[in-house]
Chain A
């Protein structure tokens, strides 16, 4: 079956604009994660969804960041009023449960001008 997919693959936006990044996890995976990788940095955890439980938002860097997961499947990460420091590769991962291996999507490269 298909792996984790993300769209768009690249996004260039102007400072102050809102952006939405989409993640389609592997079918049947109950756990979904968002990370970001800034230039020269490791992967930074942002948010975690597990089934119908309330998401763990502890990694979101500011209230400009939010994420939803509709119907336990597709997830959207929204960044409002983007800033230049938001420029990074945003990676989504899913796993069958929180105890299982995470499978990553190819990422969305966000550039804020």
Chain B
């Protein structure tokens, strides 16, 4: 059973609009979460993280929201740009110091010009 779920395998958004990528988890012990972005033929690159002591973390066009009671987090990209087109992975761990991150299956975002 997947502990980290990304129920939308793909998402298409118009350039300039907001992209919202969702992630749900089942393990209540998770309290550190990350988003990675992956282009074809490249390894994932770290995007943004959030720990359970916060419900929002913002970095430029990227904001991650965490709802611990719902075991849900989301990544907002605004405004979306064509270069944001990639696969986005959500990952969770029991702590920032945990090495055993559990990754979701990814959501492929396409930003249309």
Contact = CB atoms under 8 A, between A and B. Distances in A.
Interface stretch (A12-20, A35-43, A60-68, A75-83): A35-43
Contact of B102 (A4, A45, A105, A107): A45
Contacts of B100: 45, 48, 56, 58-59
Contacts, number: 57
Given A91-B43, A101-B46, A107-B43, A40 B105 contact: yes
Nearest to B32: A99
A104 B99 contact: no
A45 B44 contact: no
Interface residue tally on A, bucketed by range = 20 to 34
B45 A104 contact: yes
Nearest to A58: B100
Nearest to A59: B100
Nearest to A104: B43
Interface residues of B, number: 24
Contacts of B103: 35, 42-45
Given A31-B99, A48-B99, A98-B99, A42 B44 contact: no
Interface string B57-101: 000000000000000000000000000000001010000111111
A87 interface: no
A89 B32 CA distance: 25
A73 interface: no
Interface of A: 4, 31, 33, 35, 40-45, 48, 50, 56, 58-59, 91, 93, 98-99, 101-107
Interface of B: 2, 4, 6, 36, 41-46, 49, 89, 91, 96-106
Given A42-B103, A98-B98, 20 more contacts: A35-B103, A42-B6, A42-B105, A42-B106, A43-B44, A43-B89, A44-B103, A45-B99, A45-B101, A45-B102, A48-B99, A50-B99, A56-B99, A58-B100, A101-B46, A102-B46, A103-B45, A104-B45, A105-B43, A106-B43
